[in-house]
Structure 1
Amino acid sequence: MGHLAMIEHVIFDVGNVLVRWHPQRIIELSFPQEADTLALAKAVFGDPIWASLNEGKLSWLQAQQAYAQKFAWHDEQIKTLFYQITATQQLLVGTVDLMRRLKAAGYGIYGLTDNVEEIVHYLQLRDDFWAMFDGVVTSYQEGVLKPSPQIYQALQTRYGLNLSHSVFIDDMPANVEGAKAQGMHGIVFVDCGQCEAALRDLGLRF
């Protein structure tokens, strides 16, 4: 267990690790008359518009205008959609408490998230977990999405983290594999209890 006990930093994804990210539910609430909400969710959030917004290449307003044009939606529909994008991001059970206990035990706590500037600001104002981060790397600042090597390396260049002494927690297996390719430990998040057990298996004590 010697090398496992060298972990000094715990890096959290945000969506579906700290807060719920549920595209189909967003569509259900925004377009209650829609027959196939799953298909529309895939069309909306799989569109290059969404990727460009997360990469910081489009502003919040520009993305709304692009969606309105592409899907022929009127102003009220767009406003409702973008309201629900933020309002549905409710805290998941247990993860913030896990962060708090890890921080109290002396581990560095960082965020690494594919995210939008306006959503980050919304969460910063609404929730207290953001203040626990010792640093955060976001896709809109880096201009790339996970699992691009650049976004993981930003943890090292910006905050001086030794990636081999870090563990990354994300709900998407491809993103965890991307972290491992950069020398980090990785945990695919299922729920808080599973995540806590996986951290203890890696030798963390909290």
Structure 2
Amino acid sequence: MTSSKPIRNVVFDMGGVLMNFDGPYFASLFTQTPEDARLLNDALFGTTMWSLLDSGTISHETMRRYAEHHLPERLHASLHECILHWPEHSAPIEATNDLAIRLHNEGYGIYLLSNASTRIMEQLGHAPALPHLDGYLVSAMERLMKPDPAVYQLLCTRYDLDPAECLFVDDNLDNCVGAEVAGMRSFHFTREPGHDAEALEACVRELS
């Protein structure tokens, strides 16, 4: 049953919502050919081990060693540079940052819930919305990941939020479903017409 309570809080995902995350692009910055970029992306960003890093299950050192094992030695230096510096190339999605700041200034609670590693601030630090966040929760720090309803519930418990008064925004539909199971409403953000920042703002206004 859909809640009739007005929305008072908007909970944003990071990658794909507030910040760009594009593994193939990042890999291309540290390699010389498209084939090498593909190899680097597949060994680092494109493996299930990346999710284990975000879950806090493995360390960055383990991630590096795994990726090295799946790359020719000639690409190890590129791998190391990519691991160190890819967050610098994660650009803010300006429209959603602008919206988050505007909503915060209007009195909405603005929060972040991200599946990300313990190095999240190296990426999130570029987000204009960061100083305006009322709180955040990161999967690797909690050993909980979206779409587990427990991670949304933990956010609400930690910041004394009523899930029925929260709108969750994510580019992953499964994560949106997880939020709904936890009692929130959700918006599937894809940057396509009808699922972009303009549509998100219209959704917030309609539910407030």
Using the aligned pairs only, state the percent identity.
28
Pairs within 5 Å for 1:5-16: 6-16=6-16
Pairs within 5 Å for 1:41-80: 41=41, 44-73=44-73, 74-80=75-81
Q: Which residue of 2 aligns with 1:182?
A: 182
The runs of 5 or more residues in structure 2 that have no matched partner are none
Q: Which residue of 1 aligns with 2:117?
A: 116
Matches of 1:39 and 1:196, distance apart in 2: 39
Q: Which residue of 2 aligns with 1:23?
A: 23
Pairs within 5 Å for 1:106-185: 106-118=107-119, 120-123=120-123, 125-185=125-185
TM-score by length of 2: 0.85
User: Cα deviation per residue 1:68-94 (whole Å; 9 max; x = unaligned)?
Assistant: 123344541212322453122101122
Kindly indicate whether residue 203 of structure 2 is the aligned counterpart of residue 201 of structure 1: no
The SS at the match of 1:77 is helix
Matches of 1:202 and 1:77, distance apart in 2: 47
Kept in 2, the 8 Å contact 1:110–1:135? The answer is: yes
Matches of 1:166 and 1:38, distance apart in 2: 39
Matches of 1:111 and 1:93, distance apart in 2: 16
Once the two structures are TM-superposed, the CA of residue 65 in structure 1 deviates from its matched residue by 2.2
Once the two structures are TM-superposed, the CA of residue 27 in structure 1 deviates from its matched residue by 2.3
Matches of 1:77 and 1:89, distance apart in 2: 18
Matches of 2:117 and 2:98, distance apart in 1: 24
The SS at the match of 1:15 is coil
Count of aligned residue pairs for this structure pair: 200
Once the two structures are TM-superposed, the CA of residue 97 in structure 1 deviates from its matched residue by 1.5
Matches of 1:37 and 1:70, distance apart in 2: 13
Instruction: Note closer, same or farther for the CA distance 1:151–1:17 as it changes in structure 2 (3 Å cut).
Output: same
Matches of 1:182 and 1:38, distance apart in 2: 37
Matches of 2:186 and 2:111, distance apart in 1: 14
TM-score by length of 1: 0.85
Instruction: Note closer, same or farther for the CA distance 1:123–1:46 as it changes in structure 2 (3 Å cut).
Output: closer
Instruction: Note closer, same or farther for the CA distance 1:125–1:23 as it changes in structure 2 (3 Å cut).
Output: closer
Matches of 2:98 and 2:140, distance apart in 1: 27
Q: Which amino acid aligns with 1:198?
A: C
Q: Which amino acid aligns with 1:97?
A: D
Q: Which amino acid aligns with 1:51?
A: S
User: Cα deviation per residue 1:161-192 (whole Å; 9 max; x = unaligned)?
Assistant: 11111000111111111111111010011232
The runs of 5 or more residues in structure 1 that have no matched partner are none
What do you get for the CA RMSD once the two structures are aligned? 2.3
Q: Which amino acid aligns with 1:143?
A: R
Matches of 2:76 and 2:31, distance apart in 1: 13
